[in-house]
Amino acid sequence: MFDEFKGQKFNLIYADPAWQFSNKKTGGSMTSGAEHQYKSVMGIEDIKAMPVADIAADNCILVMWWVNSMPSEALEVVKAWGFELKNMNGFVWNKLTKKFKPFFGMGFYTRAGSESALIAIKGKPQIASRSVRAVGSYPVREHSRKPDEFRKRCDNLAGNVNKIELFARESSPGWSSWGNEVNKFSDKVAA
């Protein structure tokens, strides 16, 4: 894993793990669960075992999207990867419909209309800008495809550093990309 990045270290790691859920099928169509959307999903132990520490610079920022029903598991991943949590809601995507109305998502106790990415650090990374806004309101796209704007916010937060996106589903200029679906959205026009 990460063989193509051997010897490289990244100061910013942006990750959207393909979390495995205990409820494999959700939603009205019964095909909206994660296992129906990805080539493969990973259990918590497999995600924790990823050698992320091997590619993390001594001073590194981790921005990781996590599943709202699995906060404890997200914290376990942060620790296993060698990071210290700084903000559980470092970025919050307020989801909108294509008509820019509030998105009425699924959920366990409340209907989820947002997703969050935590921010964790290793060492003492430099922060390029302390003016980066946490919350953004953007329309939903394909399953789990995050708005490009959050990658731009990561750029603003960390500055001109060596950065990688883990579990990438598209490549982005200035970023290294890793995952088994890196070209999934390469034919799509960025919104």
Which of these ranges, 20-24, 73-77, 92-96, has the smallest mean pLDDT? Answer: 20-24
What is the pLDDT, as a whole number, of residue 22? 64
In a domain, 65, yes or no: yes
Q: What is the pLDDT of residue 110?
A: 81
**Within-domain flag for 189:** no
Task: Examine the pLDDT at 87 and tell me if it is beyond 50.
Answer: yes
**Which 3 state secondary structure label does DSSP give 75?**
helix
pLDDT band at 36; cut points 50, 70, 90: very low
Q: Over the chain, what is the mean pLDDT?
A: 88
- CATH classification of the domain holding 157: 3.40.50
Q: Is residue 186 part of a domain?
A: no
- Residue of higher predicted confidence among 39 and 121: 121
| Sequence-distant (≥ 6) Cβ neighbours of residue 131 within 8 angstroms | 156
Point out which residues pair with 119 in neighbouring strands. Answer: 63, 87
Place 33 in a pLDDT band, splitting at 50, 70 and 90.
very low
Inside any domain, residue 96: yes
DSSP string of 128-156, one letter each residue? S-S---SEEEEE--STTPPPHHHHHHHHH
pTM above 0.85, yes or no: yes
Domain range holding 118? 11-178
Please count the structural domains in the chain: 1
Mean pLDDT of 114-141: 97
In a domain, 1, yes or no: no
Burial of 36 (0-12, 13-18, 19+ CB in 10 A): middle
